[in-house]
Amino acid sequence: MKRFPIKALVAAAATLLASASALADINIGVSLSLTGPGSGLGIPMQNQFKTWAPTIAGEKVNLIILDDATDPGKGVTNARRFVTEDKVDMIIGSCITAVAAAMTPVAAEAKTVQLAGSPVGVPPGQDGWLFRLPQGNDVMAHAVVGHMKKAGVKTVGFLGYTDAYGEQWLKAFTAEGEKAGIKIIAAERFARTDTSVTPQALKLTAANPDAMLVVASGSGAAMPHKAIVERNFKGKIYQTHAAATMDLMRIGGKDVEGSFVVSGPAMVGAQLPDNHPSKKVAMDFLASYEKAYGAGSANQFAGHAYDARIVLEKIIPVALKKAKPGTPEFRAALKDAMETMGRTVFSHGVMNWTPADHWGYTMETGVMLKVADGKFAVEK
């Protein structure tokens, strides 16, 4: 019988142990807009992911972060790589609605959970594997319309992106507005890559609505806002939750003073009443992020990445009882755990996904903010 040296046997055993350990790793593919117009959203999410501890429930978690360049086609390429080459257990992304929507069929075909960092809408029945970290547009439109109603607004001009985010907001706001007797009397659109919206702003101000609703994201939300102000519009201007970042004030300056922005509670933890369920979690998010990256550096998209960790810490232990990472059974177990995890407090509100509802937030989620002295202040 052939004998093997002890050292060789030890080395072989070590290799086998290392392989077994690697098989136990949980791999998560993350597609973010780290370049292009959406980089102001993707980079803060990446920053938050960098602060994550390397293990959850005793298992190593590998984040495979790729840039989708704010391009739906690139997002699809990333998603295909995740499921075919990296064999990921979950996909997170993208932070841009149009990119996330393009990735969804790939994730669904691979029966892999996609945890979107944007409020992506898909046709009914096509979100079986898609869950959202941000609030749905109908939830946030509810808060905006409620504020407008109290302020006596009856007519609104709409200036929004030509893509899915803009269209979904137009649909959600129109439906909520009709219930409150608020009507859109003029609607104009623009592309994320546009550097001017002067013609659109002229048409909207000529319609003379009581208020304007700008539907844009990150730093891109300041340009259309400034264009409306420069056309001497004197009414109220509202922004959506994708604009709840410091970039709005950094770029918009005095032109965005006095405007209203709907947001989740993540950005204003200290201003929330003590009985608000998200107060403690929101304050922890802000404190930890700003400790790592500096005062005033946080934005709500970093908050979504923070909330993703809360999700994983709750569902991974449950899924591990049913299957091993790297298997179809484990991916299915993660989905089942998300649909049954029950009431869970996020920095952005209270989540309760169910098999029938992969949005999860309630209508009380939206917080109305006002830009005052270059900062966000909670509207009382």
Rounded Cα–Cα distance for residues 327 and 190 (Å): 43
Whether 277 maps to a domain, the answer reads no
171 plus 154 within the same structural domain: yes
pLDDT in tens, 106-118: 999 999 999 999 9
Q: Tokens in use for 366?
A: 């939206």
CATH number of the CATH domain containing 229: 3.40.50.2300
What's the whole-model pTM score? Answer: 0.81
Helix spans in the chain (H) = 6-24, 39-50, 72-84, 97-109, 137-150, 164-179, 198-207, 222-230, 246-252, 279-293, 300-320, 328-339
122 falls within a domain: yes
- Does 380 have pLDDT greater than 80? no
In a domain, 376, yes or no: no
CA-CA distance, 111 to 192, in Å (whole number)?
31
pLDDT tens digits, residue range 160-188?
A: 999 888 999 999 999 999 999 999 999 99
- The whole-number average pLDDT for the span 98-109 is 96
Whether the upstream peptide bond of residue 19 has omega within 30° of 0, thus cis, is: no
Same domain for 231 and 181? yes
Q: Which residues pair with 65 in a beta bridge?
A: 30
The yes-or-no verdict on residue 286 having pLDDT over 90 is yes
The SS3 call for residue 148 is: helix
Cα–Cα distance measured from residue 343 to residue 366, given in angstroms and rounded to the nearest whole number: 17
Out of 16-30, 97-111, 327-341, least confident range: 16-30
pLDDT of residue 3: 53
Whether 21 shows a pLDDT value over 60: the answer reads no
Nearest alpha carbon to residue 242 among 219, 269, 211: 219
Q: SS3 of 189, please? A: strand
Q: For residue range 295-335, what is the model confidence (pLDDT) as tens digits?
A: 988 888 999 999 999 999 999 999 999 999 999 999 999 99
Give mean pLDDT, residues 52-81: 97
Q: Does residue 89 have a pLDDT over 70? A: yes
Average pLDDT, stretch 150-154?
97
Query: Do 231 and 257 belong to one domain?
Result: yes
Is residue 1 predicted with pLDDT exceeding 50?
no
pLDDT tier, 216 (very low <50, low <70, confident <90, very high otherwise): very high
Contact partners, residue 249, CB within 8 Å, separation at least 6: 256, 371, 374, 375
Distances from the Cα of 272 to the Cα of 143, 290, 306, 376, angstroms: 16, 18, 19, 12
Domain count, the chain: 2
Query: Is 239 found in the same domain as 164?
Result: yes
User: What pLDDT was estimated at residue 118?
Assistant: 93
Rounded Cα gap, residues 297 and 40, in angstroms: 11
CB-based contact 215:160 (threshold 8 Å): yes
Query: pLDDT tens for residues 235-244?
Result: 999 999 989 8
Domain span including residue 236 = 137-263
Residue 175 has a pLDDT of 97
**Average confidence score pLDDT of the chain:** 92
The per-residue pLDDT for 123 is 86
At residue 5 the predicted structure's pLDDT band, cuts being 50, 70 and 90, is low
Look at residue 91 and give its three-state secondary structure.
Answer: strand
Q: Give the Cα separation of 70 and 339 in Å (integer).
A: 29
In the three-class reduction of DSSP (H, G, I as helix; E, B as strand; rest coil), residue 273 is classed as coil
Q: Percentage of residues in the chain with pLDDT exceeding 90?
A: 81
| Residue 125 clears pLDDT 50, i.e. is over it | yes
Query: Cβ–Cβ contacts within 10 Å for residue 273, how many?
Result: 8
Q: Is the pLDDT of residue 7 over 70?
A: no
Residues 306 and 239 reside in one and the same domain: no
| Burial class of residue 181 (count of CB atoms within 10 Å of its CB; 0-12, 13-18, 19+) | exposed
Residue 15 pLDDT more than 80? no
Q: Assess whether pLDDT exceeds 50 at residue 259.
A: yes
User: Is 244 found in the same domain as 201?
Assistant: yes
> In degrees rounded to 5, what are phi and psi of residue 40?
-65, -15
Residues 172 and 220 reside in one and the same domain:
yes
Are residues 94 and 65 located together in one domain of the fold?
yes
The residue written with tokens 């929507």 in the block is 101
Say how far apart CA 18 and CA 363 lie, in whole Å.
Answer: 48
Indicate if 123 and 147 belong to the same structural domain: no
